[in-house]
Amino acid sequence: MKKIVFLTGAGMSAESGISTFRDSGGLWEQYPVEAVAYLSGYERNPELVINFYNERRLQLLEAKPCRGHELVAAMEKDFDVTVITQNVDDLHERAGSTNVIHLHGELMKVTSSRNPNSPSQIVTLTPEHPVIKMGDRAADGSQLRPFIVWFGEPVPMFEAAVEAVSQADIFVVIGTSLNVYPAAGLTAYAPPEAPVYLIDPKEVQWNAGRSFHHIMKGASAGMEELTQELNGKQ
């Protein structure tokens, strides 16, 4: 069974109503990135950051996977599928994907401020109790914080992502500006013989150093086209 690896970004979840950060009208226009996406911002004003991610979590609970998410999950019938996502939502999982690597953390999880990547400190929140507040403690006694990889923090799942991309028979990039590193650097690890697809409705300044097929559509329409093309080649 051929191995297909997806790298997905904000454009993957935009069709589900999840606010993007970088586009016009995105979250960075409403919140300074330094305040809510850097460790220094959390240390300076933890309550602001905790409330920001509480709002994102409540928004996520109202969202549903889009057709694009469903089509990625449906690929598991015919391919060995790994999804690497820059998104912190759980829409891939809710659509049925079973092998998802989250590069930037997971919104529905919280963890210790002292040891954020320790498995013993990570707690999964439920739709019934999706909010944390100041004074809520992790198992080690520190303040619970979002399980998010902020700018300047290490990306603990990066090596697992590199390994997956390096084994790909087909590599597909969906809805990412390819501006955020180290995630954007993953494209360099795809084997030279693996066909590469980029699904994005806009021109993307991607210096891939190799040929790739750009499907200039949104995530759902682009996945419809890709599914038809790959089914025709089997």
Q: What are the residue numbers of the active site?
A: 104
The residues with which 7 forms a beta bridge, in sequence order, are 84, 173
Contact 30, 198 (CB under 8 A): no
Indicate the residue type of 43: E
What CA–CA distance (Å, rounded) separates 161 from 177? Answer: 18
Nearest to 134 by CA among 120, 126, 147, 145: 145
Residue listed under structure tokens 């300076």: 44
Whole-Å CA distances, 184 to 14, 39, 106, 161, 218: 19, 21, 19, 11, 19
Please, how many CA atoms are within 13 Å of residue 13, restricted to the half-sphere of its CB? Answer: 25
Packed helices 219-233 and 67-74: angle between N→C axes, nearest 10 degrees:
20
Two structure tokens written together for 231: 């089914």
Indicate the residue type of 113: S
Whole-Å CA distances, 92 to 31, 43, 45, 119: 26, 31, 31, 22
